Chain A
């Protein structure tokens, strides 16, 4: 049970390392990103609940999971799954930690696995809504209106594409919905609810980042 988002993304990043590095041209309209970024709240902390539905290729039953998340712009992401079983993932600069209660299931550090730097940056930007950082790794298209925006991303690197076939983000002041489609065909929808922003972490949240 030591397999996580981190682990899977890791494979992608290692895959890239072993693949030819194709010089990527910036595909996408930077003006669109700026428009959307200006709609997004620029608070230090975003927190809320998530509902995640997965539809796996060849598996009939949809897999439903619920939990809560916290993003702090300087520290990282805390991703707590509550049902069907509790699990915590913490992504900070240079480290990805996964816990099952108090038991450490997995600890990935950038000094041992260099890809951790890139992974934490992707995950971090994804949940924090840092679109320009995502644009480093993905090509994108999308639209922005007064009531909200939509963006879809495809990875620039072959290795990353092997893991994430495509990614779609929807939101207004905050990111509301994320859809991930793996290259192999597994689809994951994540919907965010009760999203609120704050200037600082609560004491309880801060403790979990320590």
Chain B
């Protein structure tokens, strides 16, 4: 980068002063780049491990409901490190043998996993509950207590006393009526998993599933863990396929999706990145046939990438893989400036600095529109989008600065027109031009009608699920696992709040009572809730009071069975408090249901639902909302948020088309419409094509159209500012085809979000490219407006 020293002496005294100032800036830019490179080099090692593949990072943060957001976040974190493997077979023995094989295989390969406890360790829970057991009575036993007479009470206790395995896990004398045993048994509804021999099993009518539960030793997003785990699972899978061809292995876990997404992103990043780069080099080479021109373009790309990568990493701490994929396609935009400048120098006999000074104003204007468009993205509440915008803005500015500051030194002294460039420049002469003839007005009316009809057919779709790509095989397995294990949905939850923990538990119990009819009707299969494990004190008090009717039976039993001590008078027991419960290690794995105290001093918990399938039931559940109970449907909420931002961004886009001409009016006066018209028509045309093709309008389309606005205005601006020069047209052709090629490559992405961006860009930029020369000024009009142009070029 010995750029400044290679410059030749300026050609005029004015240019000389200009060049001296410019040289300082060029050296500063080199210094800044060196600094950025040093930062990047120093951090590349720690940063490489922080490439995010979590698709959820793309989702917006719901600023309206921080409590629900916090609850969902806890839930995500809780499940992040879990990995569940099911071995599905037609009989128990085969499933068990297959499970042993997989367990052994994973163990031998030292997979980064630790076997995991399924929920709570009930023995520890039993010991925790023992001193408070009088408060734990099931609904069914409470009803029985309400109706049983003393004879029935005695009979129940005696029958238990004579049973070979009496008293559940307690001595008969500690639970003579079996209430506590029944209550503990009721906890079994929390999971359908049961041990069978040495394996955990889930048994359905047709299949027997052996269950292996694991916890990851590191984060699911650690690329090191992902690689090791993928290899170990594949090895286990191969062994299984050899020895048990009929046994299916079903996998579920965040880590599997993260691994798939990371692999996909890496593949696409290199495909799109190298594809874009190759297209750029080839096109630039064929158009300019000049090594120095190619060097300048590549240098602007490299500096853009350096700045984008370093700044984004510095600002966001983590980089999302999709940012890199999207970023790879930005090569096509960043290269525009180099191409615009280069095309301007084709066959130009004027001194270098004169040419350069003439370029400064249009080049400055050209940066404004796209930079503003990407800055608009920064305002979105999508963490992923923000990162992409930051990456894009810094990349584009980096590339632009290189062109602005270095190109006078790096330029070839002369740049002859190549055959391809000449041919492209010829096209402009034959390209139709808007002259406002009656025939053209007729065509315009037809086009306007076609656009109107197309736009009218446009549908919208804000469903977030249509943007996220999930490996269908993994999804299929995950659904099977969730069904077999009766896992709750993590996206639709109840959030329960109260002023004290006791209030929360009481509200929760009231809610669960309302869920029972839905469970009985088969609309839900169950729930996960903390009050199942920790009844409210009110409920414990109720259970204790109900047992006061047992005094007579206890006395009679004590006499008949010759019980020692003061057994007959059941000692009053303390009530279990939330604090005591939460303080026990045995309850640790259930604590994700308890949200605790939030910043506003209120307490909250979450209730998860199982087997929720239809939207009608979801509506019914949403109707349970009151001051303390809140139905949170993450999917619906994100979708409505997407819808709100789609509307907002559409207004921003419309406003941009109103404001941009006003701003440009100062420079272009009566020619302003020529600058704006191409991208406006391209935008409407894109919408119309989407309408005809049945592609729904999504937030991402509108975002992309904002980018189309930025680039489209640039094309018009450059052509008008360059007085309809064929060289400007050449620049537009090259720039647009590079954008089309690089963004077109996004259309091969397996991530629907990126594909949508790709398709919309191809449509929008393609149309803008076609429309731009249509609205060029005639030579006569250009000379009329020459004084305006001079103010720009001064």
Contact A184 B163 (CB under 8 A): no
- Answer whether residue A44 sits at the interface, using C-beta atoms and an 8 A cutoff: no
Complex Cα spacing A117 to B197, Å: 11
The distance from the CB of A191 to the nearest CB of chain B, in whole angstroms, is 13
- Is A81 a contact of B162 with CB atoms below 8 Å? yes
- Whether B188 and A17, one on each chain, are in contact in the complex, defined by CB atoms closer than 8 angstroms, is yes
Give the contacting residue for A14; candidates B115, B117, B185; CB below 8 A.
B185
Report the Cα distance A190→B162, complex, angstroms: 12
Tell me the residues in window 146-167 of chain B with beta carbons closer than 8 Å to chain A beta carbons. 152, 155-156, 158-167
- CB pair A8–B181 under 8 Å, yes or no, is yes
Q: Are A7 and B194 in contact (CB under 8 A)?
A: no
B195 x A16 contact (CB < 8 A): yes
Contact indicator A164/B122 (Cβ below 8 Å) = no
A65 to B163, CA, bound (A): 9
Which of A34-42, A50-58, A197-205 is found at the contact surface with chain B?
A: A50-58
* Chain A residues near B191 (CB-CB < 8 A): 17-18
Q: Is the CB of A3 within 8 A of B115?
A: no
Q: What 1/0 mask marks residues of chain A from 1 to 27 whose CB sits below 8 Å from any chain B CB?
A: 101110111111111111111011000
Question: How far apart are the CA atoms of A5 and B166 in the complex, in Å?
Answer: 7
Q: Contacts A8-B163, A57-B171: A17 and B205 contacting too (C-beta < 8 A)?
A: no
Tell which of B115, B197, B561 touches A136, judged by Cβ atoms closer than 8 Å.
B197
A129 to B321, CA, bound (A): 61
Question: Which residues of A lie under 8 Å from residue B162 when comparing CB positions?
Answer: 52, 54, 63, 65, 81, 84
Q: Residue of B at shortest CB range from A60? A: B562
In Å, the complex CA distance between A5 and B191 comes to 22
B122 to chain A, nearest CB (A): 4
Q: Do the beta carbons of A16 and B171 come within 8 Å of each other?
A: no
A170 at the interface (CB under 8 A from B): no
Interface size on A, as a range, is 35 or more
Min CB gap B692→A, angstroms: 53
**Given contacts A10-B185, A115-B194, A157-B195, A21 and B118 within 8 Å (CB-CB):** yes
Q: Is A163 an interface residue (CB 8 A)?
A: yes
The residues in B between 520 and 567 inclusive whose CB is less than 8 angstroms from any CB of A are: 560-565, 567
Q: A11-B184, A16-B194, A17-B200 are in contact. Are A158 and B123 (CB under 8 A)?
A: yes
Contact B185 A19 (CB under 8 A): no
Of the listed stretches A69-77, A106-114, A142-150, name the one at the interface; the rest are far from the partner chain: A106-114
B residues less than 8 Å from A18 (CB atoms): 118-122, 125, 187-188, 190-191
Asked, given contacts A5-B164, A59-B561, whether A118 binds B194 with beta carbons under 8 Å apart, the answer is yes
Q: Give the B interface residue count (CB, 8 A).
A: 63
- With a cutoff of 8 Å between Cβ atoms, the chain A residues found around residue B199 in the complex are 21
Contacting residues, chain B, for A160 (C-beta < 8 A): 195
Does the CB pair B164–A87 fall under 8 Å? no
Contacts of B203 in A (CB 8 A): 110, 114, 117
Judge whether A63 and B161 touch: CB under 8 Å: yes
Asked if A115 contacts B188 (CB within 8 A), the reply is yes
Contact B170 A20 (CB under 8 A): no
Question: Which A residues, 122 to 175, have Cβ-Cβ distances below 8 Å to chain B?
Answer: 136-137, 156-160, 162-164
| Smallest beta-carbon distance A148→chain B, Å | 22
Whether B196 sits at the interface, judged by CB under 8 Å, is yes
- Contacts A16-B195, A21-B118, A159-B123; A1 near B161 (Cβ below 8 A): no
B194-215 contacts to A (CB < 8 Å): 194-203, 205, 213
Which B residues, 87 to 118, have Cβ-Cβ distances below 8 Å to chain A?
100, 103, 115-118
In this complex, which of A15, A61, A136 has the most chain B Cβ atoms within 10 angstroms of its Cβ? A15
Name the A residues within 8 Å of B351 (CB-CB): none
Chain B, residue nearest A188 (CB) = B164
CB neighbors of A among B123-157 (8 A): 123, 125-126, 152, 155-156
Most buried by A among B190, B191, B196, B560: B196
Verify B122–A14 contact, CB threshold 8 A: yes
B100: A residues at CB distance < 8 A: 23
Q: Cβ of B398 < 8 Å from any Cβ of A? A: no
B residues near A54, Cβ cutoff 8 Å? 161-162, 164, 166
Chain B residue at minimum C-beta to C-beta distance from A126: B164
Is there a chain A Cβ closer than 8 Å to B178's Cβ? Answer: yes
- B731 CB to closest chain A CB (Å) equals 68
- Report the Cα distance A63→B1, complex, angstroms: 98
A185 interface residue (CB < 8 Å to B): yes
Kindly report which residue of chain B lies nearest to residue A158, judged by CB atoms: B123
Say yes or no for B266: interface residue by CB 8 A criterion: no
Residues of B within 8 A of A4 (CB): 163
In chain B, residues 729-775, which have Cβ atoms closer than 8 Å to a Cβ of chain A? none
B374-403 CB contacts (< 8 Å) to partner A? none
Contact in complex: A56, B171 (CB < 8 Å): yes
Q: How distant is the Cα of A199 from the Cα of B198 in the complex, in angstroms?
A: 33
Answer whether A23 and B198 are a contact pair too, CB < 8 Å, given A18-B118, A84-B162: yes
Q: Determine the distance from Cα of A57 to Cα of B561 in the docked complex, in whole angstroms.
A: 12
User: How far is A184 from B130 in the complex, measured between Cα atoms in Å?
Assistant: 13
Q: A23-B103, A54-B162, A163-B165 are in contact. Are A17 and B126 (CB under 8 A)?
A: no
Determine the distance from Cα of A100 to Cα of B565 in the docked complex, in whole angstroms. 33
Asked if B161 and A56 make an inter-chain contact with CB atoms under 8 angstroms apart, the answer reads yes
Q: Which of A87, A111, A118, A185 contacts B195 (CB 8 A)?
A: A118
What CA separation (Å) do A12 and B194 show in the bound complex? 10
- Is A93 interfacial (CB 8 A cutoff)? no
Contact B122 A19 (CB under 8 A): yes
A23 vs B170: C-alpha distance when bound (angstroms) = 26
On chain B, the residues within 8 Å of A158 by CB distance are 121, 123
B327 to chain A, nearest CB (A): 45
Whether the pair A20, B188 counts as a contact (CB closer than 8 A) is no
Task: Give the CA-CA distance A178 to B288 in the complex, in Å.
Answer: 97
B166 in contact with A11 (CB, 8 Å): no
Does A57 contact B172, Cβ atoms closer than 8 Å?
Answer: yes
Q: What is the minimal beta-carbon distance from A190 to any residue of chain B, in angstroms?
A: 7
Is A182 within 8 A of B163, CB to CB? no
The minimal Cβ–Cβ distance linking A153 to chain B, given in whole angstroms, is 13
How does the 8 Å CB contact mask read for B165-189 relative to A, with 1 for contact and 0 for none?
1111111111000100110110110
Are A162 and B123 also in contact (CB < 8 A) when A180-B164, A186-B166 are? yes
Q: Which chain B residues lie closer than 8 Å to A56 at the CB level?
A: 161, 166, 171-173, 561
- Give Cα A158–Cα B123 distance, bound, in whole angstroms: 8
A20 and B118 form a contact (CB under 8 A): yes
Closest to B171 in A: A184
Contact among B120, B181, B565 with A3 in the assembled complex (CB-CB below 8 Å): B181
* Chain B residues whose CB sits within 8 angstroms of the CB of A137 once the complex forms: 197
Kindly state the separation between the CA atoms of A115 and B193 in the bound complex, as whole angstroms: 8
Report the minimal beta-carbon distance from B136 to chain A, rounded to whole angstroms: 13
Q: Which of B121, B156, B194, B562 contacts A20 (CB 8 A)?
A: B121
B585 sits at the interface (CB 8 A): no
For B125, B162, B182, the residue with the greatest tally of chain A CB atoms inside 10 Å of its CB is: B162
A4 CA to B161 CA in the complex, in Å?
10
Is B192's CB within 8 Å of the partner chain A?
yes
Q: How far is A90 from B696 in the complex, measured between Cα atoms in Å?
A: 62
Q: Is the CB of B123 within 8 A of A19?
A: yes
Closest 6 CB pairs of A and B: A14-B188, A24-B198, A136-B197, A16-B195, A60-B562, A8-B165
Q: A17-B194, A19-B117, A59-B563 are in contact. List 18 more A-B contacts (CB 8 A).
A: A1-B156, A3-B156, A7-B178, A7-B182, A14-B184, A15-B169, A19-B123, A20-B115, A20-B117, A21-B195, A52-B162, A84-B158, A117-B196, A156-B197, A182-B165, A182-B166, A182-B167, A183-B169
Q: B residues bordering A, Cβ < 8 Å?
A: 100, 103, 115-123, 125-126, 152, 155-156, 158-174, 178, 181-182, 184-185, 187-188, 190-203, 205, 213, 560-565, 567
Can you give 23 A-B contacts (C-beta < 8 A)?
A3-B160, A3-B178, A3-B181, A10-B188, A11-B184, A12-B169, A15-B123, A17-B200, A21-B115, A21-B198, A21-B199, A24-B197, A59-B561, A59-B564, A61-B562, A117-B196, A118-B195, A118-B201, A136-B198, A157-B195, A182-B166, A186-B171, A190-B164
Chain A residues near B (Cβ < 8 Å): 1, 3-5, 7-21, 23-24, 52, 54, 56-61, 63, 65, 81, 84-85, 87, 110-111, 113-115, 117-118, 121, 136-137, 156-160, 162-164, 180, 182-186, 188, 190
